[in-house]
């Protein structure tokens, strides 16, 4: 008759409680009885995606059309995002790696931040057409300025060599985070970048709750996770080297670098600055699809 219908207590605690109440029973008996009643230890299962946003499929079809259009004329199609942040230092990193028997890598017992060197924030730029990745490893904060700076570094180090004559870029990004569709800073800094490179930048955002369909997730970030699993991220150099050594049988190549710049949180972009963004919205979901046109700029890359 107890109102307690579900419990997370261990079989040992259940046995102790029943014995205290006058029902002498052992832990193995509790274990067998729970199994006999159809119970087992289970973890949570992610299956509930919530209500799909209106016209989600239409947005996916539109992104696909844009990708085909840019690829047909040889322009870059870039999938961008930030992967899980790492902690630099002798901390345990999930996963296992092959080592001689009984020689595990020894790391700190405690994960106190003062024992490490700070956060490692990998912002990735994945070139869909060439199957190449670029990762800018930040040391400060994940901001819109940091996201656009990562694109700027991709262009300087990789992009302009292959796409110097391109007519524009297509960026496929999540709808939230540092490159969110509602982030003023994202569009403001993209305007500066578009003016610097002298090319229009078209952006297509994935609908809310669909970030797992962003190609960078399973083409780049999943491979990086496999490369550094079980490897303590002892320094920023180790993070950059591990990311840069990521390859696949399909020809993936990755270049990584460390970003020592500082990025302030809570950057304010005024209405006047937003008004200077040369924004051209698309007819299909203008809140998700737009192009930022370059303005005359004296900066030459």
- How do the domains of the chain map onto residue ranges? 56-292
Residue 172 CA to residue 63 CA, distance in Å, equals 8
pLDDT in tens, 139-158: 999 999 999 999 999 999 99
> At which residue do the structure tokens 């939230």 appear?
176
What pLDDT is attached to residue 110? 86
Residue 58 CA to residue 173 CA, distance in Å, equals 16
Q: Which of the residue ranges 43-57, 92-106, 180-194, 227-241 would you say has the lowest mean pLDDT?
A: 43-57
Q: What is the mean pLDDT of the chain?
A: 90
Phi and psi, residue 17, nearest 5°: -70, -40
> In CATH, what class is 56-292?
alpha beta
User: Is pLDDT at 301 greater than 50 in this prediction?
Assistant: no
What pLDDT is attached to residue 51? 59
**What string of H, E and C letters represents the secondary structure of the chain?**
CCCCCCCCCCHHHHHHHHHHCCCCCCHHHHHHHHHHCCCCCCCCCCCCCCCCCCCHHHHHHHHHHHHHHHHHCCCCEEEEEECCCEEECCCCCCCCCCCCCCCCCCCCCCCCHHHCCEEEEEEEEEECCCCEEEEEEECCCCCHHHHHHHHHHHHHHHHHHHHCCCCCEEEEECCCHHHCCCCHHHHHHHHHHHHHHCCCEEEEECCCCCHHHCHHHHHHHHHHHHHHCCCCCCCHHHHHHHHHCCCCCCCCEEEEEEECCCCCCCCCCCHHHHHCCCEEECCCCCCCEEEECCCCCCCCC
What pLDDT is attached to residue 197? 95
What pLDDT is attached to residue 50? 57
User: Is pLDDT at 4 greater than 60 in this prediction?
Assistant: no
52: pLDDT confidence band, cut at 50, 70 and 90? low
Q: To the nearest 10°, report the CA torsion of 147, 150, 87, 229.
A: 110
pLDDT in tens, 60-110: 999 999 999 999 999 999 999 999 888 999 999 888 887 788 888 898 888
What pLDDT is attached to residue 5? 53
What pLDDT is attached to residue 47? 62
In the structure encoding, which two tokens stand for residue 93, read together? 């990193």
User: Residue 282, by phi and psi: left (phi above 0), alpha (psi -120 to 50) or beta?
Assistant: beta
Q: Are 252 and 132 in contact (CB under 8 A)?
A: yes
Q: Which residue has the higher pLDDT, 198 or 97?
A: 198
Phi and psi, residue 292, nearest 5°: -105, 115
pLDDT in tens, 248-281: 999 999 999 999 999 999 899 999 999 999 999 9
């Amino acid at each position: 008759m107890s109102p307690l219908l579900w419990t997370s207590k261990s079989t040992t605690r259940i046995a102790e409680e029943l014995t205290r109440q006058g029902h002498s029973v052992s832990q193995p008996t509790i274990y067998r009885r729970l199994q006999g009643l159809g119970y087992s230890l289970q973890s949570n299962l992610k299956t509930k995606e919530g209500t799909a946003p209106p016209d989600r499929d239409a947005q996916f079809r539109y992104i696909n059309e844009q990708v085909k259009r840019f690829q047909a004329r040889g322009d870059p199609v870039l999938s961008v995002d930030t992967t899980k942040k790492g902690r630099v230092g002798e901390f345990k990193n999930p996963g296992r790696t092959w080592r001689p028997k009984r020689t595990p890598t020894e790391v700190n017992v405690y994960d106190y931040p003062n024992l490490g060197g700070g956060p490692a924030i990998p912002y990735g730029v994945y070139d869909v057409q060439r199957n190449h990745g670029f990762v800018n490893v930040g040391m400060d904060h994940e901001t819109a300025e940091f996201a656009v700076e990562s694109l700027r570094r991709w262009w300087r180090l990789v992009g302009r060599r292959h796409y110097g004559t391109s007519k524009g870029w297509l960026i496929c990004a999540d709808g939230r985070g540092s490159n969110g569709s509602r982030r003023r800073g994202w569009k403001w800094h993209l305007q500066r970048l578009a003016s610097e490179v002298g090319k229009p930048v078209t952006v297509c955002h994935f609908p809310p709750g669909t970030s797992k369909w962003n190609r960078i997730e399973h083409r780049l970030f999943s491979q990086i996770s496999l490369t550094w699993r079980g490897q303590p991220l002892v320094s920023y150099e180790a993070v950059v080297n591990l990311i840069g050594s990521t390859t696949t049988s399909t020809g993936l190549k990755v270049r990584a670098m460390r970003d020592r710049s500082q990025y302030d949180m809570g950057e304010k972009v005024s209405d006047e600055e937003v008004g200077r963004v040369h924004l051209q919205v698309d007819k299909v979901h203008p809140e998700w699809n737009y192009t930022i046109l370059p303005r005359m700029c004296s900066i030459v890359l």
